[in-house]
């Protein structure tokens, strides 16, 4: 079984457990559930911003521990002060060391779009995302059927949230063109093999419908790459490890963004 299949099996069990621990009614009574969301699309199109979606990721299956005891408060505030356009917070616990609480902390201290980075397979997780203050959810084409993508995307949008659809190849992009999704992320990392290739973003840029806001994800490790990806039409740049591998990720982000 590849790692992605493994994650999905664990996730299915986690979702069932959480459903019985935290019923939907309880989630819907959260203050954030009825609060307006902040648009990632708008922030990425703002000319005064870097386009960087700065990620908080404590560990990963490909790298192991990256920064397990990071301060969410200091890092999230620092990322935004450094000029990031938005935040991405890993909430998966078993494989990435994150939690719903990490996202809640980031929400408490920041007014900016926040992406819930997790493996979403069920509407319940979207209600949960909204209830902890997320503005955007990630839908990973590699773990969903086009039918599921459509349904989950429509559900998220009905709650006022945005959707970032993640694709890794031409087939995934083609299969999901009609889901009405405004933000598409090209993951340069193959989630089954962990191989990273920036050319994935360059290759898929040609097939991107022009009304879509395109985001390049993973393996972005220098400012020159961002300048290059911009010429391929990318407006968003999701960066995790390049920042997180430093003891003070927000200072690394500041130095990086200053070079753009
Ligand atoms: O740390 P990197 O190489 O900068 O990558 C960030 C982000 O793209 C990566 O964490 C990611 C992209 N898609 C995902 C799906 C699930 C978990 C994590 C991810």
Domain coordinates in residue numbering, the chain: 3-258
DSSP 8-state assignment for residue 34: G
The fold of 3-258 is TIM Barrel (3.20.20)
3-state secondary structure of 193: coil
pLDDT tens-digit series, residues 12-39? 999 999 999 999 999 999 999 999 999 9
**Is 55 part of the annotated catalytic residue set?**
yes
Contact 167, 186 (CB under 8 A): yes
Handedness of CA 158, 159, 162, 167 (dihedral sign): negative
What is the Cα–Cα distance from 181 to 173, expressed in whole angstroms? Answer: 11
Question: Within 13 Å and on the Cβ side, how many CA atoms surround 190?
Answer: 10
Q: Which of 61, 93, 95, 240 to mutate to test the pocket of ligand 1 (most atoms within 8 A of CB)?
A: 240
**Is 131 part of the annotated catalytic residue set?**
no
- The set of residues, in sequence order, having a beta carbon less than 8 Å from that of 1 and lying 6+ positions away, is 9
Q: Is 122 in the pocket of ligand 1 (CB under 6 A)?
A: no
**Is 218 part of the annotated catalytic residue set?**
yes
Per-residue pLDDT of the chain (260 residues; tens, 9 = 90+): 899 999 999 999 999 999 999 999 999 999 999 999 999 999 999 999 999 999 999 999 999 999 999 999 999 999 999 999 999 999 999 999 999 999 999 999 999 999 999 999 999 999 999 999 999 999 999 999 999 999 999 999 999 999 999 999 999 999 999 989 999 999 999 999 999 999 999 999 999 999 999 999 999 999 999 999 999 999 999 999 999 999 999 999 999 999 99
Q: Which atom of ligand 1 is nearest to the CA of 166?
A: 13
> Quick one: tokens of 90?
């890993």
Identify the residue whose tokens are 């069932």.
16
ipTM of the complex: 0.98
3-state secondary structure of 83: coil
- The set of residues, in sequence order, having a beta carbon less than 8 Å from that of 28 and lying 6+ positions away, is 127, 131
What is the Cα–Cα distance from 217 to 188, expressed in whole angstroms? Answer: 6
Q: Which atom of ligand 1 is nearest to the CA of 95?
A: 17
Residue 88 Cα to ligand 1 middle (Å)? 9
Q: Which of 57, 129, 144 to mutate to test the pocket of ligand 1 (most atoms within 8 A of CB)?
A: 57
Output the DSSP codes for 84-115: -SEEEEE--STTT---HHHHHHHHHH--S-EE
What is the Cα–Cα distance from 8 to 75, expressed in whole angstroms? Answer: 29
């Amino acid at each position: 079984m590849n790692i992605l299949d493994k994650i999905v099996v664990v996730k299915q069990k986690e979702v069932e457990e959480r459903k019985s621990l935290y019923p939907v009614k309880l989630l819907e009574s959260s203050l954030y559930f009825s609060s307006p969301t902040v648009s990632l699309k708008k922030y990425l199109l703002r000319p005064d911003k870097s386009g960087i979606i700065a990620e908080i990721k404590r560990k990963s299956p490909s790298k192991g521990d990256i920064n397990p005891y990071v301060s969410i408060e200091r890092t999230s505030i620092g990322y935004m002060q450094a000029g990031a356009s938005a935040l991405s917070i890993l909430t998966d616990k078993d494989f990435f060391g994150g939690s719903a609480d990490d996202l809640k902390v980031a929400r408490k201290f920041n007014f900016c779009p926040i992406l819930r980075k997790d493996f979403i397979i069920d509407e319940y997780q979207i209600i949960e995302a909204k209830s902890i203050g997320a503005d955007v959810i990630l839908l990973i084409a590699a773990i969903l059927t086009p039918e599921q993508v459509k349904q989950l995307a429509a559900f998220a949008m009905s709650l006022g949230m945005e959707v970032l659809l993640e694709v890794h190849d031409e087939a995934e992009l083609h299969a999901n063109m009609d889901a009405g999704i405004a933000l598409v992320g090209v993951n340069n990392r193959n989630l089954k093999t962990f191989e990273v290739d920036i050319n994935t973003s360059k290759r898929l840029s040609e097939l991107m419908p022009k009304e879509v806001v395109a985001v390049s994800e993973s393996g972005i490790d220098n400012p020159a790459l961002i300048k290059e990806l911009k010429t391929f039409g990318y407006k968003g740049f999701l960066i995790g490890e390049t920042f997180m591998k430093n003891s003070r990720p927000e200072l690394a982000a500041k130095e990086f963004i200053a070079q753009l």
